[in-house]
Amino acid sequence: MNFEFTEEQLMIRDAARDFAQRELLPGVIERDEKSEYPTEQVKRLADLGFLGMLVGLEYDGGGMDTISYVLAMEEISKVDSSVSVIMSVNNSLVCWGVEKYGTEEQKQKFLKPMARGEKIGAFLLSEPEAGSDATSQRTTAVDMGDHYLVNGTKNWITNGKTASTYIVMAQTHPELKHKGINALLVDSKSEGITVGPHENKMGMRASDTCSVMFNNVKVPKENRLGEEGFGFKLAMQSLEGGRIGIASQALGIASGAYELALKYAQERKAFGKEIIHHQAIAFKLADMAVEIEAARFFCLKAAWLKDQGKPYGQASAMAKLYAAETAMKVTTEAVQIHGGYGYVKEYHVERLMRDAKLTQIYEGTSEIQKIVISRGLMD
Amino acid sequence: MKILVCISNVPDTTTKVKFKEDNTLFDDSGVQWIINPWDELALTRALELKEDAGNSVDEVCVIHVGGAQTDATLRKALAIGADKAFRIDACAADAYYVAGQIASYLKENPFDIVFSGIESSDYNGSSVGAMIAEFMDYSGVSSVTSVNLDGDDVILYRAIPGGKQKIKTGVPLVAVVQKGIAKEPRIPAMRGIMMARKKPLEVIAATEMEMLTKSIKFELPKAKGACKMIDLENVEELVKLLKNEAKVL
C-alpha cells in the first residue's frame, strides 16, 4: 500500500490551491450573497483545464486520474463550492457518460467542446416528483422514427441555464419501467426548451440551479447515449462517479472550515490565552482533524478503485455519506469555534456551513447512500 | 531569439525555518520546495514574450544548479510552459559557483536573453545574475521591472530611488528582474502538467570550479517580545518604556 502522491498529482493539487486562493477567494462572499454566477472564474477553470480534467487527452481533456480529481476538488471546494459543483457536474456526470458510452460522432461533437470547457454540460435526471426515486421519470421521449419528441419538466438542474449540452433522462417505454428510460444528448438551445428562474438557495448560491421545461422538443435519434433503454443504467453509473466528486467537495468544505477554525483558535485569546489552549476548543479541533482525515481516505480509496478499473459504487457511496456528514459536523463546529464572528459572513465559515448542507442532499441524499451501501452488503 | 530563465529551488515561503548539526546546516526535513518567486515571475514574463506574435522568441528554457531531488521544481517550470529544462548536477551553495556553472553552460550554448530573479527567497544573495553577466561579458541590467522587445532591441524599465529608468539595449543580455516584471506567476494548466513529462529535462555534468564562500553558522532572529498595552492617557509610561526597555529613545 502506498500513501505517497505522484509528482503530477501534487502539482495538480498545488495548481488547484493557487487558483482557489488567488482567483476564487476574492469576491466569493459577494458572489454568494448576490447569487452571482462566477462567469470569469469558470472561464479560468476552463483555461486551466479543470472542467475536463478527467477526459482523455485524445478528446481534448486533461487525461488526469481520479486521485488528482479528488485533490483538485478538495482545494477548490475549500474556497468556493459554487465553482467546484460546476466542475464536478461537467466532469463526472456529463463528460464521463459521453466518453464511456458515446459514439465517436457524439464525442467529436459534444465531448470535445465540454472537455475544453468552451461549453458546459448539465445532467437532467431529477423531476418535481422524481428525486430520490429516480425510476419514476415522468418526462417522456416518444419514438417518432428518426427522432424523439421530449416533453416534461426537470428540477434542481445544476448548470441548467449556462449549459449548452444536456444529458436528459426520459421515458420511452413506460411499460418497461426504468428499463424504458433513454439518455439523450440535447442542445440546450433547441426549440421548445424553457429554462426556469434561478433557485434562491440556502447555500452554493452562486452556482446556477434551475428547472428546465421541455415542450415537444425534437431530439435526433443519433443523440441517444447507449442502447435503447440504457438511460437509467447510465444515470446510476454516472452518479457512482459523481459521488466521488461530491464527496471530495464535502471534504474540501470540511477542510476549508477546519483550516479557518484552526487559524482563528491560534489567534483569538480568551481568559489570558489563545483559545486553542483551552481543552474545549482543542478537542473539537482534534475531532475535526480525525474526521476529515477519515473522509479523505474514503474519497481517495473510491478514486483509486475507479482508476484501477475495479468496482467502486460501494466505496463512492461510503465516501459521499461520510464526507457529507463530516462536512456538516465540521462546519457547524467551525462556526462554534468562531463564536459570534462565525455567525457573520466576513469569516466565511457560515457560508461553508450552508454549503455543507447541500452535500447531504444532492447526487443522492445521505439516506440514499445508506440504501446503496446496505444493498451492497447483501450482495 | 532564445530566452534562458535561471531557476532557484527554494523552501516554500511559509516554511518554519530550523537548523541542525549545531546550527551549521538548514534542516530540510518536511520542507516543501518551490520555484523561487522572482524566478517564477521571470519565467511568466519570458513566456508572455514568446506568446506575443509580434516578437520573434523561439524558445524559453530554464536552467538550475542542483541535485536530482530538485527535478520536481524543474518539471513544474516545464508544466508552466518552458520548452526545455537543464539541470547542472551539483550541490549549489555559493553564488559564484552557481553563476560560474551557468556561464560555462552558456559559453557552449548561447542564449540571447538570460533572466535571473533579483534574489532567491532562501539565502537572498542577490548575486547570481550580475555574476553571469560578468562571466559572459554580457550587458547586465539590475532591478528590472519591465521587459519588452522591439525588433532586436530590448526595452527595459528598472526601479531607481524615487522613480524608474528606461533602458534600451541589444542582446546578449542578463536582466535581473524583480516584482512587477509580470502581474503574477502563471498557474500550470492540466494539459501543461501532462505534457511536462514529455519535455526534455537534460542533466549536465558540472564543470570543475571552487566555491569562494563557506557557510559557518546560522542564527534565527530573536523571538518577538510580547505586546504591552499602555493606556491612551499614560504617555509618560510609554516614553519610559521606549527609553528604558526598548532603548529606542
CA–CA dist B165, B140 (Å, integer): 14
Cβ contact A63–B194 (<8 Å): yes
Residues of A with Cβ-Cβ distance to B189 under 8 angstroms: 15, 47-49
Report if residue A26 sits inside a domain.
yes
What average pLDDT score do residues B165-182 get?
95
Q: How confident is the model at residue A63 (pLDDT cuts 50, 70, 90)?
A: very high
Tell whether A66 and A201 lie within a shared domain.
no
CA–CA dist A97, A83 (Å, integer): 21
Q: Which of these three, A210, A229, A248, is where a domain ends? A: A229
C-alpha cell at A302: 473510491
Tell whether A248 and A362 lie within a shared domain.
yes
Q: What is the pLDDT of residues A211-224, one digit of tens each?
A: 999 999 999 999 99
Q: What is the mean pLDDT of chain B?
A: 93
Closest CA to A357 of A335, A331, A319, A334: A331
Tell whether A247 and A369 lie within a shared domain.
yes
Q: What is the pLDDT of residues B191-245, one digit of tens each?
A: 999 999 999 999 999 999 988 888 899 998 887 777 788 888 889 999 999 998 8
Q: Please name the member of B184, B191, B197 whose beta carbon is closest to the beta carbon of A22.
A: B184
What average pLDDT score do residues A331-360 get?
97
Domain that holds residue A127: 121-229
Q: Which of these three, A77, A97, A115, is where a domain ends? A: A115
CA–CA dist A64, A73 (Å, integer): 13
Please identify which residue in the block is written with the cell numbers 455543507. Answer: A356
Report if residue A2 sits inside a domain.
no
Pure H helices in B109-200: 128-136, 190-196
Sign of CA dihedral B170, B174, B178, B181: positive
CA–CA dist A98, A363 (Å, integer): 18
Q: What is the pLDDT of residues A268-324, one digit of tens each?
A: 999 999 999 999 999 999 999 999 999 999 999 999 999 999 999 999 999 999 999
Q: Which of these three, A99, A115, A131, is where a domain ends? A: A115
What average pLDDT score do residues A218-234 get?
96
Tell whether A190 and A326 lie within a shared domain.
no
CA–CA dist A43, B27 (Å, integer): 41
Report if residue A274 sits inside a domain.
yes
CA–CA dist B146, B158 (Å, integer): 7
Closest CA to A168 of A105, A200, A107, A211: A211
Report if residue A83 sits inside a domain.
yes
Instruction: Give the distance from residue B187's alpha carbon to the nearest chain A alpha carbon, in angstroms.
Output: 6
Report if residue A288 sits inside a domain.
yes
Beta-carbon-side half-sphere exposure of residue A285 (alpha carbons within 13 Å): 20
* A199 pLDDT above the threshold of 90: yes
Q: State ipTM.
A: 0.87
Is residue B34 within 8 A of residue B182, CB to CB? The reply is: no
Query: pTM of the entire structure?
Result: 0.91
Overall domain count for chain A: 3
Q: Which residues numbered 140-199 in B keep a CB inside 8 Å of some CB on A?
A: 184, 187-191, 193-194, 196-197
Instruction: Give the distance from residue B185's alpha carbon to the nearest chain A alpha carbon, in angstroms.
Output: 10
Q: What is the mean pLDDT of chain A?
A: 96
Surface-to-core class of residue A34, CB atoms within 10 Å of its CB (0-12 exposed, 13-18 middle, 19+ buried): exposed
Tell whether A213 and A320 lie within a shared domain.
no
Q: Please name the member of B189, B194, B197 whose beta carbon is closest to the beta carbon of A48.
A: B189
Q: Which residues pair with residue B64 across a beta bridge?
A: B87
* B176 pLDDT above the threshold of 80: yes
Contacts of A129 (CB under 8 A, 6+ apart): A136, A138
* A235 pLDDT above the threshold of 80: yes
Tell whether A372 and A290 lie within a shared domain.
yes
Q: What is the pLDDT of residue B215?
A: 86
User: What pairing do the DSSP bridges indicate for beta strands B173-177 and B113-117?
Assistant: parallel
Closest CA to A154 of A110, A116, A114, A184: A184
- Find the residue in B nearest to A18 (Cα): B187
User: Looking at residue A198, which CATH number applies to its domain?
Assistant: 2.40.110.10
Tell whether A363 and A241 lie within a shared domain.
yes
Tell whether A217 and A284 lie within a shared domain.
no
* A377 pLDDT above the threshold of 80: yes
Closest CA to A95 of A73, A67, A75, A114: A114
Q: What is the pLDDT of residue B182?
A: 95
Q: What is the pLDDT of residue B119?
A: 87
Residues of A with Cβ-Cβ distance to B187 under 8 angstroms: 15, 18-19, 22, 48
- Find the residue in A nearest to B12 (Cα): A14
Residues of A with Cβ-Cβ distance to B188 under 8 angstroms: 11, 15
Tell whether A20 and A80 lie within a shared domain.
yes
Q: What is the pLDDT of residue B125?
A: 82
- Find the residue in B nearest to A56 (Cα): B191
* B13 pLDDT above the threshold of 90: no
Q: Mutation test of the interface with chain A: which of B16, B193, B201, choosing the one with the most A Cβ atoms within 10 A?
A: B193
Report if residue A175 sits inside a domain.
yes
Q: What is the pLDDT of residues A35-52, one digit of tens each?
A: 999 999 999 999 999 999
Report if residue A1 sits inside a domain.
no
By annotation, the residues of A acting in catalysis are 363
What average pLDDT score do residues A126-149 get?
89
User: Looking at residue A289, which CATH number applies to its domain?
Assistant: 1.20.140.10
Q: How confident is the model at residue A325 (pLDDT cuts 50, 70, 90)?
A: very high
C-alpha cell at A125: 435526471
User: Looking at residue A59, which CATH number applies to its domain?
Assistant: 1.10.540.10
Report if residue A368 sits inside a domain.
yes
Tell whether A268 and A353 lie within a shared domain.
yes
- Percent of chain A at pLDDT > 90 equals 96
Q: What is the pLDDT of residue A134?
A: 75
What average pLDDT score do residues A65-91 get?
97
Tell whether A52 and A78 lie within a shared domain.
yes
Domain at B2-221, CATH homologous superfamily: HUPs (3.40.50.620)
Tell whether A194 and A281 lie within a shared domain.
no
Q: Mutation test of the interface with chain B: which of A13, A14, A73, A76, choosing the one with the most B Cβ atoms within 10 A?
A: A14
Q: What is the pLDDT of residue A206?
A: 96
What average pLDDT score do residues B84-94 get?
92
- Find the residue in B nearest to A47 (Cα): B189
Rounded CA Rg of chain B: 21
